[in-house]
Amino acid sequence: MTMSDDNTFNHERWVRRQSALAEFGRQALMVDDLDALLHEAVVLAAQGLDIGRAKVMQRVADGEALLMRAGVGWKPGLVGKLVIDAGSKSSGGFTLKTGKPVIADDIESESRFDVPPFLREHGIRSLVNVIIQGKGVPFGVLEVDSDELRSFNQEDVDFLQGYANVLAAAIDRHDTHDALTRLAEERAVLLRELQHRVKNNLQIITSLLNMQIRRVGGGPVEGQLRIIGSRVETLRVVHDSLFEAENVNRINLPRYLKALCESLLSFHGARAEDVTLAFAAEEADAAMDTTVPLGLLINEFIVNSLQHAFGGGSGEVSLMLERVTSDRGRLILKDDGPGFDRTKASRVGTGLQIMDVLASQMGGKLTWDGESHLKGEGARVILDMPLV
């Protein structure tokens, strides 16, 4: 082979190696399984140097030992289990100690480090390795082992170092992902615990309010306590829904609204025992920022109906939810009481003002049907609201 031919051959080999390395780098950005990525690295490293064996030795035991984390060409049972000394008794330990790649063209004449028994058992004669960097300390060593005498050069070292650098970045990404996952899981546990405590506290507050309601035995004080109590009950149902939801930003509205209405009517006891609920809701979800003010708005409507529409008698409260677009919905609240003309009312009650504020807070628009009372249809409001 002439020098020209040799240069052409080396160039072709370099292009082939760089193409393989580029493809490995692309895979490293997409693969989440670190063990699979380490295995792919040793396979490609061995193929790139036309050698049958390669391995990744990972620092373990605070750097005192090396574990064969990945490997190709070794006897069964070694990968994931073989642990050797990380000191100068191995090529990997020597590499980590010096911080430099190691080339051993003939391990039988090697004096810098000892040769582990498993290398001799596999008939290894030559090796080359590089460091896989990590956060603060190296992750380990990428090594290729030949059972024939082989003169490795700087091109071989650079080739291996390219894989080691890609692995270092992938390992860092993997560790960061794991840390963020653990943090998210810890926060999820804390959130669940907080929701559970809030739920219990709201139940206690509701019980205390019920005790006070029974003590006062009627009058305006009882009415005010019931208004406060129903708002607390609304918040309790909200937290129940949050506690049960897999995603706190996607609350199932039919389930939440049905539970809320039934709970509020139950809370008001005798005042609502002859009041029925007509309920119809299409499947839709809403974020927590919507469900809280939505629940309070519905509470104000139901309280208003119990106070003014039915007068302690029988009646019906109706709730209908329909999806208008992918991200907007329409909620219609009605009762079958006498209704009222809000535009001619001498004053707007606090509850109605609160409903307007709550609708605005959730990014919705509340419209009162000004003609429903003329048709004998009672009070009727329409809420345009956001969905997710």
Q: What pLDDT shows up at residue 93?
A: 92
CB-based contacts of 191-197 (< 8 A; 24+ apart in sequence): 191/248, 192/243, 195/239, 195/242, 195/243, 196/243
Distances, alpha carbon 153 to alpha carbons 94, 112, 128, 212, 292, in Å: 19, 18, 9, 88, 68
CA distance 288 to 239: 10
- Give dist(CA 337, CA 301) in Å, integer: 12
What angle in degrees, to the nearest 10, is found between the helix axes of 219-244 and 253-267? 150
Residue that is written with structure tokens 């019906």 in the block: 316
CA dist., res. 160 & res. 49, Å (int):
9
Task: Check residue 372 and give its pLDDT.
Answer: 64
Q: What is the pLDDT of residue 297?
A: 94
Tokens of 120: 């001799």
Q: Which domains does the chain have, with CATH numbers?
A: 3-178 (3.30.450.40), 217-386 (3.30.565.10)
Residues contacting 134, CB < 8 A, separation 6+: 59, 140, 168, 171, 172
pLDDT of residue 33: 87
Q: How far is C-alpha 16 from the chain's CA centre?
A: 40
The pLDDT of residue 8 is 41
What pTM was estimated for this model as a whole? 0.54
Count of positions (residues) in the chain: 388
Q: What pLDDT does residue 2 have?
A: 33
Report the run of H or E that residue 353 belongs to, with start and end: helix 350-361
Q: What is the pLDDT of residue 176?
A: 85
Calpha distance 194→184 (Å, rounded): 15
Q: Collapse the DSSP code of 138 into the 3-class scheme (helix H, G, I; strand E, B; otherwise coil) and give the result.
A: coil
User: Which segments of the chain have a pLDDT < 70?
Assistant: 1-9, 242-243, 248, 270-272, 311-312, 341-350, 370-376
Residue with tokens 């391995």: 55
